[in-house]
Every structure is written in C-alpha cells, then in structure tokens.
Amino acid sequence: MAILVTIAATLSAAIHVLIFYWESLAWTRPAVWKRFGLASAEQAETTKAFAYNQGFYNLFLAIGALVGSVMYGLGATEAGFALGLFSVSCMFAAAIVLVTSGPGRIRAAAVQGVFPLITIVLYLLSRATEV
C-alpha cells in the first residue's frame, strides 16, 4: 500500500510543482496568464507578486506530500502519515475552494484535486488495513 500512496502523492506533487512553475516563474507569459483566465499582459503584471507567492504555497505542499509519502514508505509511519495526509488534504481543500471561487473552474479544480483525493483515500485505507 505504501507504494500506491507514494505514487499517488508523487502525482499530486508533480501537478503542484507545475502550478508553482506557472505561478512563480512563468506568470507573465501569455500562454500561462491566459490559462489562468486573465485578459491581458497588464493584468498578469499587476497580479505577478500575488501569483509568485501563491506558487510557493503549491511548491511547499508538493514537498510535504513527497517527503511524507517517502517517510511513510520507509517506516516512519506516524510522522510520514501525518505530514503526507496533511499536505494532500490541503491540496484537496484548495481544489474545493477553487470550485467555489467562481464559474468555470471545475476542470482546474479536478486537475488540482483528483490525485490528492486518491492519496487521502489510500492513506486512510492503509491505516484501516493495519488494524
């Protein structure tokens, strides 16, 4: 089960690292700001600092998901479980918030939240099978 948790957590992290790249490093590129629904380069420039900060949130959650799943898989089950589950739960919660933030964001929220949800389920199943 630890292998499945690690795979799902890695996929969750990979998506959030990509989001980090878009938000923190490539925000002012037209293909990126258009993907996030901005109408102009001026809007991208105006929101650049906000996006930069938000991107790092995604990076830190990705690191937590990876480190937690690796710790869990290597036998540090309590700490790994807590860190990993917390990180992917925050990712999933952010996807729910994204859905509630306005129309047309369901697809983006699904991309952001499906693998974290799978990881949450796998973490909980792994604990249930330990008992």
Neighbouring CB atoms inside 10 A of 66's CB total: 21
Number of domains in the chain: 1
The pTM is what?
Answer: 0.90
- Position 38 scores a pLDDT of 94
> Rounded distance, CA 87 to CA 85, Å?
5
| Residue at token pair 């939240």 | 113
Neighbouring CB atoms inside 10 A of 118's CB total: 19
- Position 77 scores a pLDDT of 86
- pLDDT tens for the chain, 131 residues long, are 889 999 999 999 999 999 999 999 999 999 999 999 899 999 999 999 999 999 999 999 999 999 999 999 898 889 999 999 999 999 999 999 999 998 889 999 999 999 999 999 999 999 888 76
> Rounded distance, CA 51 to CA 15, Å?
16
- Position 131 scores a pLDDT of 60
Q: Which domain holds residue 102?
A: 2-130
> Rounded distance, CA 104 to CA 98, Å?
10
